[in-house]
Amino acid sequence: MEQGRTLTPDVLDLANFYAERLGGVAQGLIAARLAALWPRVVGDRVLGLGYATPYLAPFLPQAERVINFMPAAQGVMNWPSDGGNLAALVIEDELPLTDSSIDRILVVHCLETAGNARETLRELWRVLVPGGKLIAVVPNRRGIWARVEHTPFGYGRPFSRGQLSTLLRETDFSETAWSGALFAPPFSSRLLIRNGRGWERTGAVLWPGFCGVQIVEATKLVYQGLPARSLSRRRQPAFRPALAPPA
């Protein structure tokens, strides 16, 4: 990814990152946190929003269905590579789903680059079942990963825990669990590759506020009606790029 090229990494940039050693380490460390939060999704309908495909594969054998929606500005590619396509290109705050149709939503590489994160969360609130669960993975404002652009976590707007908490409350979500990942620096060194989990354990104890990503689980509150959307003019789709083959 070239520095300063775009505020949103496209789908090929993201696929290339996760194909590299550093991306593989990041995937493993974040996936371990997700597995601790969602050890079982048997019978659930699971939606990924953003570039969530590296983290959705463990859910495929358990869930009733798993789909991944990728924002128009990001682009889309076939997923999974060894079966029917489960990915689609969407406008992130105008999802082609009925109300209360999804049990769990995983948001990765999305909120920090969304045109309007609040409207995106309101749309996710709409499609979640009452009491449904959402996990958002976002760059931490205080972390090193948000300050370098050779990873996708260095793009868009990073969040502090307080900012993300406020955003969730304003869109009628209630936080149920917090976690963090990527305490190691974002360098492809042998020390990181060999000792990634050791960095995680040490960082969680010694510098918990400086994780690379914030991970929050929240549930949909249903004590009031659908959160009001803004009256801004409805955007027209501007999809790009065309469907790309799997990496």
Return the percentage of the chain with pLDDT > 90, whole number: 71
Q: How confident is the model at residue 233 (pLDDT cuts 50, 70, 90)?
A: very low
Q: Tell me: pLDDT of 213 over 90.
A: yes
Task: Tell me what pLDDT residue 247 has.
Answer: 47
Q: Please give the model's pTM, rounded to 2 decimal places.
A: 0.86
Report pLDDT for 156. Answer: 94
Q: Residue 195: what pLDDT?
A: 60
pLDDT tier for residue 2 given thresholds of 50, 70 and 90: very low
User: What are the structure tokens assigned to 37, written together?
Assistant: 């939060």
- pLDDT tens column, 160-175: 999 999 999 999 999 9
Is the per-residue pLDDT at 191 higher than 70?
A: no
Range of lowest pLDDT (6-15, 31-40, 137-146, 227-236): 227-236
Sorted by where each starts, the structural domains of the chain and their CATH numbers stand as 11-220 (3.40.50.150)
Average pLDDT over residues 45-49: 98
CA 67 to chain centre: 13
pLDDT of residue 229: 57
Q: What is the pLDDT of residue 13?
A: 94
Nearest alpha carbon to residue 67 among 190, 76, 26, 151 = 76
Output phi, psi for 176, to 5 deg: -120, -20
The residue written with tokens 């360098």 in the block is 187
Looking at the predicted structure, is the pLDDT value of residue 242 above 50? no
CA 184 to chain CA centroid, nearest Å? 20
